[in-house]
Amino acid sequence: MMRKLLRLTAPLLTLLCLGLGLAPALAQRVPIQILADLTDGPRKLYHAEIDLPVTPGSLDLITPEWIPGTHMPAGPANEITGVVFTANGKTLPWRRDDVDLYEFHVTIPQGVTTLHAHLDCIVTSRVSQKLAVLEWEKLLLYPAHIPVREIPIQPSLKVPAGWGIGTALAPVSSGPYPIPAAGSTTRFAVTNVEQLEDSPVLTGQYFHEFALAPEITPKHYIDVVSDYPGDSNLRPTVLAELSNLVREATALYGCHHYHEYHFLLTLSNVAGGEGLEHGQSSDNGVGEKGFADKAHVLRNADLLPHEFTHSWNGKYRRPAGLYQPTFATPERGNLLWVYEGMTQYLGNVLAARAGLETQAQYRDKLALSAANLDYRPGREWRPTEDTAIAASILRGLNPAWSNWRRGQDYYQEGELLWLDADTLIRKLTGNKKSLDDFERIFLGKGGNTGPLIVTYNFDELVRDLNEVVPYDWAAFLQDRIDRINPHADLAGIEQGGYKLVYQDQPSATERVMGSAGGSAGQWADFWFSVGLRLSHDGTIADVRWNGPADKAMLAPGEKIMAVNGLIYSADAMREAISAAKGNSEPIHLIVQADSYVHTTDIDYHDGMRYPVLERAKGTPDYLDDIARPLAQHETPSGAKQEEQPR
Q: If you write DSSP's letter for every residue of 532-589 in order, what string do you get? A: EEEETTSBEEEE-TTSHHHHTT--TT-EEEEETTEE--HHHHHHHHHHTTTSSPPEEE
Q: What is the mean pLDDT of residues 530-545?
A: 97
Residue 61 near residue 142, CB atoms below 8 Å: yes
pLDDT score recorded for residue 177? 76
| Tens of pLDDT, residues 285-295 | 999 999 999 99
Element of type H or E holding 156: strand 152-158
Q: Does the pLDDT at position 175 exceed 90?
A: no
Residue 534 near residue 574, CB atoms below 8 Å: no
Amino acid at 361: Q
Chain-wide mean pLDDT for the chain?
93
Q: What is the mean pLDDT of residues 545-566?
A: 98
pLDDT score recorded for residue 516? 63
Backbone angles phi, psi at 638, to 5 degrees: -100, -5
Q: What is the mean pLDDT of residues 303-313?
A: 98
| Tens of pLDDT, residues 137-151 | 999 999 999 999 999
Q: Predicted confidence band at 517 (pLDDT cuts at 50, 70, 90)? A: low
Distance between CA atoms of 506 and 365, rounded to whole angstroms? Answer: 11
pLDDT score recorded for residue 40? 97
**Percent of the chain whose predicted confidence (pLDDT) is above 90:** 89
Flag the least confident range among 38-42, 509-513, 600-604, 636-640: 636-640
Distance between CA atoms of 545 and 542, rounded to whole angstroms? Answer: 9
3-state secondary structure at position 124: coil
Distance between CA atoms of 2 and 316, rounded to whole angstroms? Answer: 22
pLDDT score recorded for residue 181? 73
Residue 371 near residue 393, CB atoms below 8 Å: no
pLDDT score recorded for residue 636? 67
Q: Whole-prediction pTM value? A: 0.93
Q: Does the pLDDT at position 540 exceed 50?
A: yes
Q: What is the mean pLDDT of residues 181-204?
A: 94
Q: Predicted confidence band at 341 (pLDDT cuts at 50, 70, 90)? A: very high
pLDDT score recorded for residue 575? 98
Distance between CA atoms of 404 and 18, rounded to whole angstroms? Answer: 44
Q: What is the mean pLDDT of residues 585-600?
A: 98
Q: What is the mean pLDDT of residues 97-115?
A: 97
pLDDT score recorded for residue 622? 98
pLDDT score recorded for residue 2? 30
Q: Does the pLDDT at position 641 exceed 90?
A: no
pLDDT score recorded for residue 639? 46
Q: Does the pLDDT at position 17 exceed 60?
A: no
Q: Predicted confidence band at 637 (pLDDT cuts at 50, 70, 90)? A: low
Q: What is the mean pLDDT of residues 82-89?
A: 97
Q: Does the pLDDT at position 547 exceed 90?
A: yes
Q: Which domains does the chain have, with CATH numbers?
A: 24-233+258-311 (2.60.40.3650), 319-497+623-627 (1.10.390.10), 523-602 (2.30.42.10)
pLDDT score recorded for residue 396? 85
Q: What is the mean pLDDT of residues 263-284?
A: 98
